[in-house]
Chains A and B, each alone.
Chain A
Amino acid sequence: MVSLTTLYEITFGGAILAFIAQHTIKQLRTFIVIVTSALGVYIVWRLPSQATDISFRLGDFQILWGVNEYSQLFALLIAVLGFFTLIYSIDFMKERERLGYFYMNFLIVIGGMYGIVYSQDLISLFFFWEIMTWSSFMLVIYCCDDAQSIGLKYFVFSAIGAYAMLTAIVLIWANLETTSLSVLFENFTNLSSGLQITVIVLFIVGFGVKSAMMPFHVWAPDAYAISPTPFTALFSGALSKMGIWGLGIVLLKLAAQSGFYVWVQDIVAWIGAITALLATFYAIVQTDAKKLLAYSSIGQLGYIIVGLAIGTPLSIMSALFLAMLHGIFKAMLFMSAGAVFYRTGSTDMNEVTGLIRKMPWTFLTALFGIITVAGVPPLGGFAAKWMLYEATIQSGHYFLVIVLFAASTAAFLYLYRFIFSLFLGQEEKEYADIKEAPLTMTVPMVIMALFTLVVGVFPGIFINPIGNAMGYFGNYTFNWDVSSLLNEWGNHVDMMTVVMTIGAIFIIAAIFITIKNYRTTRYVTTKDIHTSGEIPTENENLTYAVDFYKPFERAIAPVLKRSIDKTYNLIAENLESAFDFLRYVYTGNGQTYALYVVLFLAVLMVFAELIFGIQL
């Protein structure tokens, strides 16, 4: 029963069933969705021990699906995140319309991602890639009319990526007569070096678009912000990891064999680092919580790219570690922002304020989330950051590490802003009746939050499986203690000691501060604050939220001024007008759009034929 085909059948079948159920027996829809995703988790969990490779021919092409440990890592992330986000979506999406459409596309995205990571050949990879792209596009434009232009932006960039990827596949097919990944890895060095670099660059562009690598990140903030939150969590947590998955293969399997590996490494690493830094700067100036998190996602993906590009065992480890962890903590953060949205109807950080006492569990999730992102011990983020820095320094990328450090210190700014604006600060009257989010939302969040703590104490439970997965790239051994971190110079951090120390001191101090003057310590409202002796009037705003980091913005103004976004926006505006005729073609209606995509592919193939003279 446990096999790749059943996985695909169940997931895609569940998608169609959910759509049908929505239009027939609504009560069944949720049940189908949850069961489907739960079964997905189960099957993915059992796959390595039981599945066999599946291989069949499709026309000229040999299609090959198989399970390896590298794919398995990502598949687990997809399955678990998919399950949690779907549970989260039960209450979140309750009031929305077109839920059949939503859940169908949601499950198709998950299925598409399974397909990507398990495909062993380029054709099925591309096929599933496009499935994922289309269905995620459907979800991006799901919410409202405003989403149309954002969806277009997403689509245009995805199309660029897909086109690049397709070109690379065509080139490979034309020269090696194969679409199988393993054959490609073996024979890659047979290609001429010009072709090698073309293929690598094209693949990097193709995967880089999905992982929001600069300068292809422009679609991401808006698309993340506008899509419904449960999907955003998956989008940022898992879907963007598909790009990372591909980049991992391109960088460590293909580029590593070529003669210019060092150049590729350096360039990609620098792109990653600059992505991290600039995305952090943009995140700082955002006012919408979801957009802030979107930029934060781009920044974190930048770290992962750096880790992959550097290519030492420790750096690959840190990249994959961070990729897994990012899936969890970014989902947590998006979910908590979504919970706030669910209750207050806004994620505008200038508006929403002081929810901590109203939504304690959501706050706790957000707190764990930001501590993890910040990389502060004792939570899991620290291990990832630590390994990344050590690896970067030890591999001799001294200035890269400074950029990374700058980015991660600057990350404190937006992280604090996120948690401060939404949860801390003045408790305002308009939010007096807010209640905690329903259990279906809090439970997945809190489970994931606790998981980050566990990973913080025992990074080994992540490191050792990832170490196995890295067997896909070469002979790497990670036989660390479950709670320790080790660099290549032999320095180590023992997380157990760290967590015990922090925990003990924290508990002692907390008990002390609580029992000291327990009776005479009063809680006072946030209105009773030191306002220089004055009494604020009703409508005066005591929340400091607007332009929170103005001084910092002024300091980085030269960077922000020459923003890539602005250049892109210029291009994008022109693009939009250029593609204006598309508005007639694509009406948000699935079928029309599918038709268009087919046409697009046909055009591509004609192009391929004309340019490269090859028959597809």
Chain B
Amino acid sequence: MREKETTLYLGPQHPGITGNMMVKLKVAGDTVVKAETHVGYLHRAFEKLMEQRTWMQSFPIVCRICVPEPDPNEENLARAVEEIEGREVPERAKYIRVMALELSRLAAYMLWMGGQSGGLGLYTAPQWSVGDRDYILDLFEELTGGRIYHMYIWAGGVRRDLPDGFKERVLKTMDYFESRLPEYDKLIFDNAIFKKRTIGIGVIDKEKALEWGVVGPPLRGCGIKHDVRIDEPYEIYDKLEFEVPTVEGGDIYARAMVRRREMEQSISMIRQVLDKMPGGPVYNKVPNPLNWYVPKGDAYVKTESARGEFGYYAVSDGSLKPRRVHVRGPAYVHGVSLLERILVGANISDVSPIMNSLGVCPPEIER
């Protein structure tokens, strides 16, 4: 028997979807009655592949788990190995790691800004922001050799030291970004229509947010201060001065403003890191990567990525290869159980902006 509601496929081949996934919407009129997330279009079986590779061989593939922002994955795996082994990391490497993480957060926010406003029909914003994001990618290219995939952070430190004059170039880029932010404010965040389209849309209830396991900007957009960087400071975050912005409201606009303010914080953090960065080696003596036995043990490590808390649960059985690495991306909850619930009752027009504002990133759901 034919169902009453219309089935609307949002994805996988759809301009409104973030990445390659599908949200099957049952709509009555333009209101979503039921939403079902379907994932698996990007399943590459990373966790299985890591079991086939040595710990160090896993680094090149973990960065592919989340394309817009690969560094938290490398950071997580590196810290998981370090925690199991009890390995010390040189101070300078920690600073460089934080710099890379914050740069990648900034890049991810630029990309998000494009997606968010592009989904709302403001096509100038993605053109600007994705273009500006390229300046960060240039920095990464200089630092790591790769625009997108860096494979830079690894167990024991980072792969290589900063090139000459890199610090100045980073500072220059940061200055440029700071000068651009007011323009983005004018174009996006202060735009009357943008506000009209985002305020009161896709609201997450504060109580529910805690119980559903919402993390990152969506949670901070509910007014709850929850950030791994202050809760469980890793690397040198406890030595930096920054605040974690929270905005009340729980709607798309609140989440957008959280990210907008975090961009300022990231810029200031990068400046602080460059300012305080000590000298010294960037990695300690490590074993031969192909012969690197990690002792038996397990570790759950967390990093705050642009979309929220990124957790890795790594188990080693004392052999060359990981026994199990479980990747828990923030989108795992945001993209499936949370999305399916808050889309009910939403307008078709708002589905794509809601997804963008939650930072749903399918590759980290299905790995």
A and B directly contacting (CB within 8 A): yes
Residue A550 contacts which of B1, B11, B29 (CB distance < 8 angstroms)? Answer: B29
CA of A532 to CA of B21, assembled, Å:
10
Query: At the interface with chain A, which of B2-10, B78-86, B101-109, B290-298?
Result: B2-10
* Identity of the chain B residue whose Cβ is nearest the Cβ of A538 in the assembled complex: B2
| A532-B14 in contact (CB<8A) | yes
Q: Are B3 and A541 in contact (CB under 8 A)?
A: yes
Contact with B along A528-543 (1 / 0, CB 8 A): 0001111010011111
A580 within 8 A of B: no
B346 within 8 A of A: no
The dominant DSSP class at the B interface is: loop
Contact of A543 among B6, B9, B12 (CB under 8 A): B6
Residue A545 at the B interface, CB < 8 A? yes
The reply to whether A532 and B10 form a contact with Cβ atoms under 8 Å apart is yes
Q: In the complex, which residues 6-34 of chain B have their Cβ closer than 8 Å to any Cβ of chain A?
A: 6-7, 9-14, 17, 22, 24, 27-31
CB contacts under 8 Å to B, within A545-592, are: 545-551, 553
Instruction: Let me know if A539 and B3 touch, CB within 8 A.
Output: yes
A69 within 8 A of B: no
The residue on A at minimum CB distance from B20 is: A533
Name the one of B3, B9, B27, B30 contacting A532, with C-beta atoms under 8 angstroms.
B9
A430 interfacial contact with B, CB 8 Å? yes
CB-contact partner of A534 in B4, B9, B28, under 8 A = B9
Whether A544 and B6, one on each chain, are in contact in the complex, defined by CB atoms closer than 8 angstroms, is yes
Encode contact with A along B319-361: 1 for CB under 8 Å, 0 otherwise: 0000000000000000000000000000000000000000000
A540-B7 CB under 8 A given contacts A430-B2, A534-B22: yes
Q: A428-B2, A533-B12 are in contact. Are A541 and B7 (CB under 8 A)?
A: yes
Interface centre among B6, B14, B17, B22 (most CB of A within 10 A): B6
A229-242 interface mask toward B, CB cutoff 8 Å, 1 = contact, 0 = none? Answer: 00000000000000
Q: Is A346 an interface residue (CB 8 A)?
A: no
Q: Given A532-B22, A533-B13, A534-B12 in contact, is the A539-B28 Cβ separation under 8 Å?
A: no
Number of interface residues of B (CB under 8 A): 21
The 8 A CB mask of A323-355 against B (1 = contact, 0 = none) is 000000000000000000000000000100000
Determine how close the nearest CB of chain A comes to the CB of B90; give it in whole angstroms. Answer: 49
- Cα distance A139–B17 when bound, in Å? 55
Asked if A536 contacts B2 (CB within 8 A), the reply is no
List residues of B (295-314) whose CB comes within 8 Å of A's CBs: none
Determine the distance from Cα of A553 to Cα of B27 in the docked complex, in whole angstroms.
16
CA distance A549 to B28 in the complex (A): 10
Q: How far is the CA of A532 from the CA of B8 in the complex (A)?
A: 9
**Are A546 and B5 within 8 A (Cβ)?**
yes
The interface residues of chain A lying within 8 Å CB-to-CB of B27 are 544
Say how far B29's CB is from chain A's closest CB, in angstroms: 3
Chain A residue numbers with a CB within 8 Å of B22 are: 532, 534
Q: Say whether, besides A539-B1, A548-B29, A532 and B6 are in contact (CB < 8 Å).
A: no
Contacts of B31 in A (CB 8 A): 547, 550
How long is the Cα–Cα vector from A546 to B348 in the complex, in angstroms? 14
B25-56, CB < 8 A from A: 27-31
Q: Which of the residues A350, A531, A544 comes within 8 Å of B9, measured between beta carbons?
A: A531
Residues from 425 to 471 in A contacting B, C-beta threshold 8 Å: 428, 430
On whether the beta carbons of B2 and A539 are closer than 8 Å, the reply is yes
User: Which residues of the partner chain A approach B30 to less than 8 Å between Cβ atoms?
Assistant: 547, 550-551
Residues of chain B with a CB closer than 8 A to A544's CB: 6, 27
Residues of B within 8 A of A350 (CB): 4
| CB nearest to A546 among chain B residues | B28
- For residue B197, give the distance in angstroms from its CB to the closest CB of chain A: 14
- Across the interface, do B2 and A532 meet the contact criterion of CB distance under 8 Å? no
Query: Which residues of chain A have C-beta atoms less than 8 A from B4's C-beta?
Result: 350, 541, 546
- Residues of B with C-beta under 8 A to A547: 28-31
Inter-chain CA distance A533–B24, complex, in Å, is 12
Cβ–Cβ contact B7 & A536, under 8 A: yes
**Which of these, A534, A542, A551, A553, contacts B6 with CB under 8 Å?**
A542
Closest residue of chain A to B8 (Cβ to Cβ) is A544
Residues of A close to B6: CB separation below 8 A: 541-546
Which residues of chain B from 262 to 280 have any CB-CB distance to chain A below 8 Å in the complex? none
Nearest chain B CB to A99 CB, angstrom units:
35
Bound complex: CA A540 to CA B27 (Å)? 12
A-chain residues with CB within 8 Å of residue B1 when the two chains form the complex: 539
Name the contact of B5 in the complex, choosing from A428, A541, A553 (C-beta under 8 A). Answer: A541
A539 to B4, CA, bound (A): 10
- A546, B29: Cα distance in complex, Å: 6
Contacts of B29 in A (CB 8 A): 546-551, 553
A549, closest chain B residue (CB): B29
Choose from A430, A532, A545, A548 the contact partner of B13 (Cβ within 8 Å): A532
Chain B: CB-nearest residue to A430: B2
Chain A residues within an 8 Å CB radius of B14: 532
In the complex, what distance in Å separates the CA atom of A548 from the CA atom of B1? 21
> In whole angstroms, how far apart are the Cα atoms of A549 and B6 in the complex?
14
How far, in Å, is B212 (CB) from chain A's closest CB? 27
Measured between beta carbons, the chain B residues less than 8 angstroms from A541 are: 2-7
Interface centre among A350, A532, A541, A543 (most CB of B within 10 A): A532
B33 CB to closest chain A CB (Å) equals: 9
Whole-angstrom distance between the alpha carbons of A426 and B279 in the complex?
Answer: 69
B8 → A minimal CB distance (Å) = 8
Q: Which of A540, A549, A553 contacts B3 (CB 8 A)?
A: A540
Chain B residues near A540: list those with CB within 8 A: 3, 7
Distance, CA A551 to CA B1, complexed state (A): 28
Central interface residue in B17, B29, B31, by most chain A CB within 10 Å: B29
The distance from the CB of B176 to the nearest CB of chain A, in whole angstroms, is: 38
User: With the chains together, A562 CA to B280 CA distance in Å?
Assistant: 77
> Shortest distance in angstroms between B27's beta carbon and chain A's nearest beta carbon?
8
Residues of B within 8 A of A532 (CB): 9-14, 17, 22
Report the bound CA distance from A569 to B9 in whole Å: 40
Instruction: Give the residues in chain B near A536, CB-CB below 8 Å.
Output: 7, 9
| Residues on the B chain within 8 Å of A551, using CB | 29-30
Q: Which residues from chain A contact B9 at a C-beta distance below 8 Å?
A: 531-534, 536
Q: Which residue of A lies closest to B6 (CB)?
A: A544
Contacts of B11 in A (CB 8 A): 532-533
Closest chain A CB from B89 CB (angstroms): 45
Closest partner residue, chain A, to B15 (CB atom) = A532
* Complex Cα gap A428–B28 (Å): 18
Q: Quick one: closest A residue to B23, CB to CB?
A: A532
Closest beta carbon of chain A to B59's beta carbon, Å: 33
The CA of A59 and the CA of B7, in the complex, are separated in Å by 71
Chain B residues with CB under 8 Å of A533's CB are 9, 11-13
Compute how far the CA of A162 lies from the CA of B14 in the bound complex, rounded to whole angstroms. 61
The answer for the CA separation of A546 and B5 in the assembled complex, in Å, is: 7
A314 to B77, CA, bound (A): 84
Complex Cα distance, B3 from A516, in Å, reads: 39
Q: Which residues on B sit within 8 Å (CB–CB) of A549?
A: 29
| Smallest CB gap from A533: residue in B | B13
Distance of B22 from chain A, by nearest CB (Å):
6
Min CB gap B228→A, angstroms? 35
Q: How far is the CB of A345 from chain B (nearest CB, A)?
A: 15
**Which of B9, B11, B13, B31 gathers most chain A CB within 10 Å?**
B9
**Nearest CB on A from B60, distance (A):** 30
> CA of A550 to CA of B2 in the docked complex: distance in angstroms?
21
Given A532-B10, A547-B28, 17 more pairs with CB closer than 8 A: A350-B4, A531-B9, A532-B9, A532-B11, A532-B12, A532-B13, A532-B22, A534-B12, A536-B9, A540-B7, A546-B6, A546-B29, A547-B30, A547-B31, A549-B29, A550-B28, A550-B31
What are some 10 contacts across the A-B interface (CB < 8 A)?
A: A430-B2, A532-B10, A532-B22, A533-B9, A533-B11, A541-B6, A541-B7, A546-B28, A547-B29, A551-B30
- The list of the 3 closest CB pairs from A to B, nearest first, reads A547-B29, A550-B29, A533-B13
